[in-house]
Chain A
Amino acid sequence: MSSNRELTMSSYVGLGVGLMLIVGLEVILTYQHLATRTLLFSLLCLASLEGFVAIMYLMHVKYERRILFWTVFPATLFVLIFLCYFFPDAFRMASMRLLK
């Protein structure tokens, strides 16, 4: 992070090709008839990798000050993880209705 040596346009095109290759890998995995949970986990991991590359390079976070990264991303990840963690509570709440 905080590096001033930005990639050249040809490097960005290479990055785009790399991202498309990951998408291709996702499609190949889809047709391997994996269990739903395994497929979901694999696709999420690959999508997260793509997302990380996009944030760091396309959205230029790699070239910004570190404080931007440390202010924005841990807090966002915290919220997203807790959204996921507490989401099943919606089902518990449904069974706790006072009026049935």
Chain B
Amino acid sequence: MNQSELMIALSELAVATEHEIQMEESPYGIDKKKLGMWIFIVSDACTFGAFLFAYGYMRIGAPVWGTPFGFSSIMNGMVMTAVLLSSSLTMLAAVRAAQSGTKALAEKWLAVTMILGAVFAALHLREWFKLFGEGWRLFYNPTGGAQQFGATFFSVTGLHLTHVVSGIIALAFITRGYNQGHYDESHVETAGLYWHFVDLVWMFVFPLMYLMNAR
């Protein structure tokens, strides 16, 4: 075999290997976007876990801890939970509509999800401003107890709020791209996975940050 024949044989082998790689199915049975989102979710879960463990140790370790949340704030938190949970259901409806090919319906449910996300963010900010009005700051406790309350509360809920706002922006991009045909149902499904994760995190943030600090 001369050099040119060897080169041809090698190039054919390369093409065949590339074809095999492209045809090989993911062992997880999901596309790479969704797998990438799962890896992000795992790393983000560890970030939230670290924040919540830090809060938990300080909460139990401090002899006097701030308990700023009256019944009205707890009710506000319950409404926020209901809103976020409803947005998860509307996201599911959007994914189902996208998978069944009913584009207009999927876009409608995506819009409802974004609106519910915005309502959640507004309720969250209302609670923050109520705390600011009572004198709570990042490093100041107006009741004279542990100053770490503000640091932990605003950090954890701020991180979660950032995720909600990022999710709304991401959903807006996905909806626009889906409408224009740049994105398909797999993009909607991947965005939905992120949105459900944001909901999942809130299921831990609400009892630990609000209920543990109820008056």
Contacts and interface: CB of A to CB of B under 8 A. Distances in A.
Interface in A47-74: 47, 50-51, 54-55, 58-60, 64-65, 67-68, 71-72
A20 B49 contact: no
Nearest to B213: A30
B89 A13 contact: yes
B92 A58 contact: yes
Nearest to A46: B207
B132 to A, nearest CB: 24
A5 to B, nearest CB: 15
A84 interface: yes
What is the interface of chain B mostly: helix, strand, loop, or mixed? Answer: helix
B82 interface: yes
B46 A43 contact: no
A9 to B, nearest CB: 6
Contacts of A39: 211-212
A30 B70 CA distance: 12
Interface string A74-100: 011001100110011000000000000
Interface string B186-215: 000000010011011001101110011010
Interface residues of B, number: 40
Contact of A16 (B29, B38, B86, B206): B86
Interface residues of A, number: 42
Contacts, number: 112
Contact of A40 (B29, B96, B212): B212
A2 B129 CA distance: 46
Contacts of B196: 54, 58-59
A19 to B, nearest CB: 6
Contact of A36 (B53, B59, B197): B59
Interface in B6-29: 27-29
Nearest to B74: A27
A5 B22 CA distance: 29
B169 interface: no
A93 B135 CA distance: 33
Interface string B164-180: 00000000000000000
B42 A76 contact: yes
Given A47-B204, A51-B200, A30 B60 contact: no
B147 interface: no
A67 B93 CA distance: 26
A67 B206 CA distance: 31
Interface of B: 27-30, 38, 42, 45-46, 49-50, 53-54, 56-57, 59-60, 74, 78, 81-82, 85-86, 88-89, 92-93, 96, 193, 196-197, 199-200, 203-204, 206-208, 211-212, 214
Closest 5 CB pairs of A and B: A43-B207, A30-B211, A50-B203, A58-B196, A80-B49
